Structure 1
Amino acid sequence: MARPRKFEEDRAVEAAMRAFWTAGYEATSTQDLCAATGLGRSSIYNTFASKHDLFHKALRHYMDERNALLAELMDGDLPLKAKVRTVLWWAVEPEPDDPIGCMVVNSMIELGPRDPEIAELLRRDNDLRAQLMRSAIETARARGEIDAGKDPLALARFVFATVSGLRVMARGGADRAALESVARTALDAF
């Protein structure tokens, strides 16, 4: 019995996500996508309207996975500083099988300035992540974990700007010690 189309599509999106994450949108050819997904060119174009459509789905998949982890962490019972440390260390010590860097950050740099559809998707994703962290910071501030004068939205944006910078540093070849020093410095804001 053949596998359901939805299973094949989900598997293809996951594989394409890793290909785009590794090389970027422009540098990932249709042949690269065929090799990554195991699908032929006609199957890719029969399943997805275009390379751009597949990229959009892959980027959305990446965002959904990462944001689910972030939401779970921010809703948890850890003290705020431990939550922030965890987020920073996701950039310092990523999963060993993951490509270097961050697909969101890479896409902001590569496509944000010239692809309005992707730029809007990225903007909404940034807003969501900032709101998840802002809410956790507001809760922590109400509990007295951080100074009442600190701006929760500014702190949330600061954390994600730091994470983005760490991802770019990693992609540029920074060593673990350099990444840790930046992350530890960012933690001092809390």
Structure 2
Amino acid sequence: MARNIAFNEEEAIQKAMDVFWEKGYKGTSLRDLTDAMKINSSSLYNTIGDKQELFVKCVKHYTEIRKRDLDKRLAGTDSPFSILVKYIDDAVNVIISGENSCMAVKAAFEVATNDKRVKDILKEDSDYAYRFLHQLIKKAIENGEISDEEDPELLADYFISVWAGWYESYILHKDPIKIKKMARYFIRQISK
């Protein structure tokens, strides 16, 4: 007779994601994960797999949350430029108030260089963010909110790169004013 699984897998993945996010992949022990998930190691192995499988599921879960956020932003009624500015402001707030920085950035540097599955998930996430930004920038140009001399592809790529740099800068310097100034500068540069 099959045993019933005694925990909600989605909730367990969320709890494990929080641990990986805080401690990183290498800094997280199996004990950290099972304690947070409130399960024993055999339950983990029997339902999800090993630590690596769990990490892959957590990264996927994290990127799905980000996709839902971007979709919700696009469904809003604000102008494309206003949505873009709000997205930038929210990114700054996450950077300067978040204790754990961005899980995708952490995973890209810590794990994706050696794990194709994680790399593929993060690439898909980055591509999704690129399409989101490209669409907003293109619409903002069409609406006259951004100069028609700007290149939407270049700006979308540039923003993704700049955003990762803001994370690095904050990790190293812990200077929220610096991050806010860089964000305001970026917004001024693309404003018409």
The alignment's TM-score, normalised by the length of structure 2, stands at 0.87
Aligned 8 A contact 1:74 1:133 in 2 = no
Residue of structure 2 in register with 1:108 after alignment: 108
Displacement of 1:8:
1.1
Whichever residue aligns with residue 117 of structure 2, its letter is E
Residue of structure 1 in register with 2:125 after alignment: 125
Structure 2 gaps of 5+ residues are none
Aligned 8 A contact 1:91 1:167 in 2 = no
Aligned 8 A contact 2:95 2:101 in 1 = no
Residue of structure 1 in register with 2:178 after alignment: 178
Partner Cα distance (2:96, 2:185) in 1:
24
Partner Cα distance (1:83, 1:161) in 2:
19
Structure 1 residues 6-85: aligned runs within 5 Å? 8-85=8-85
Whichever residue aligns with residue 129 of structure 1, its letter is A
Whichever residue aligns with residue 44 of structure 2, its letter is I
Name which of structure 1's ranges 172-181 and 75-84 shifts more when overlaid on structure 2: 75-84
Q: How many residues in Structure 1 have an aligned counterpart in Structure 2?
A: 187
Secondary structure of the residue aligned to 2:183 is helix
Structure 1 gaps of 5+ residues are none
Aligned 8 A contact 2:81 2:137 in 1 = no
How has the CA–CA distance of structure 1 residues 36 and 97 changed in structure 2, closer, same or farther, with 3 Å as cutoff? farther
Cα deviation, 1:35-56, whole Å, max 9, x if unaligned, reads: 2111111111112121111111
Secondary structure of the residue aligned to 2:189 is coil
- State the Cα RMSD in Å: 2.2
% identical equivalent positions: 27
Residue of structure 2 in register with 1:146 after alignment: 146
Secondary structure of the residue aligned to 1:24 is helix
Residue of structure 1 in register with 2:158 after alignment: 158
How has the CA–CA distance of structure 1 residues 36 and 50 changed in structure 2, closer, same or farther, with 3 Å as cutoff? same
